Amino acid sequence: MRLLRACLILSALILPVAAQAAILPITLCDAVWLDAARSREVPVRIRMPAGRGKVPLIVFSHGLGGSLEAGTMWAHAWATQGFAVINLQHAGSDSALFGKPDFKSALNSTQLAARARDVQFALNEVGRKPFEGRCELRRIDPTRIGMAGHSFGAQTTLAVVGQSFPTPFEPPLADPRIRAAVGFSPSPPLTGSPEAAFANIRIPFLSVTGTQDAIPNVIAVTALQRQSPYRLMPPGDKFLLVMEGGTHAMFAGQSFSAGSSDREPTPHIRDTVIAITTAFWRAVFNDDKPALRWLQSPEGARAGLPPQDKFESK
């Protein structure tokens, strides 16, 4: 019920009527796909919206120590608005790390490359499989593919949409099938020049972060530095949402264990993130011009936010 209410704020934040859609039932399918070439299992959770027509696809990548539960709030909301969503779980940087003394050491370029290969493999499987359980994958439109991720998943997202690296990966991590992306708690590159890293990201990109979005015990990135990918990307359909009081865990978009409610997004943060990310996907993939104007104009998304929050575009 809480997620259903969250979807309804698409109108509460004065999203244009043309950018709204009925809340659709969804089909959820869990599976483990085997990448035989890498002898690697990739758990997936698929959400397919009701209907028979073609739909865009959004792939979601969790943060360090995450699982298929990461991004549940965002994935459910997007699916009810007509987008197929596939959550990935990345072996080597997932929840199996918890309790291990080398937890932070998994935040490295080897794991980043493995995650990017998981994304590429999953897109290959989507193109190959007509069904996964009750989920009809052949409904996915291969010309409308988006990528999203939180924390290390945001780094994964940046890697697959064109981030440059001091030592290029072979084969490259970028996947031209991805046409737009959302990064939750993005950060500067692990190595090399931030200016060079993001200079070639030319697809539409939305960065989502908060004024308290830092985890110094894991990585030395300040909340302000999480705005740098947006600042350093070339202009053209680039957006930045900064939520007052938003912590790192809040942008994971999931429910945590009892006693950890302070890690979940506040209703305002949850609802605003859902409204703005959904408008972004609709503008990019559904050619929804009112949604794009709402995102770009001072009278649009900015007007619906309290003064402490910040929303920019370029």
Residue 191, pLDDT score: 83
Res 17: pLDDT: 40
Which token pair is 261? 């409610």
Residue 18: the pLDDT is 40
170, with CB counted inside 10 A (0-12, 13-18, 19+), is exposed
Query: Quick count: other Cβ atoms within 10 Å of Cβ 311?
Result: 20
Beta-strand ranges (E) seen in 189-262 are 205-212, 238-247
List the Cα angle 64/27/286 in 5-degree steps.
Answer: 80
Q: What is the mean pLDDT of each run of 10 residues along the chain (314 residues)?
A: 42 46 89 98 98 98 97 98 98 92 90 98 98 98 98 98 95 98 95 93 98 94 97 97 97 79 87 96 96 90 91 96
- pTM of the predicted structure, to 2 decimals: 0.93
pLDDT confidence of residue 10: 44
Q: Return the CATH superfamily for domain 2-313.
A: Alpha/Beta hydrolase fold, catalytic domain (3.40.50.1820)
Q: Domain limits of the chain?
A: 2-313
Nearest Cα residue to 56 out of 19, 89, 81, 27? 81
Give the end-to-end CA distance of the chain in Å, rounded to a whole number: 36
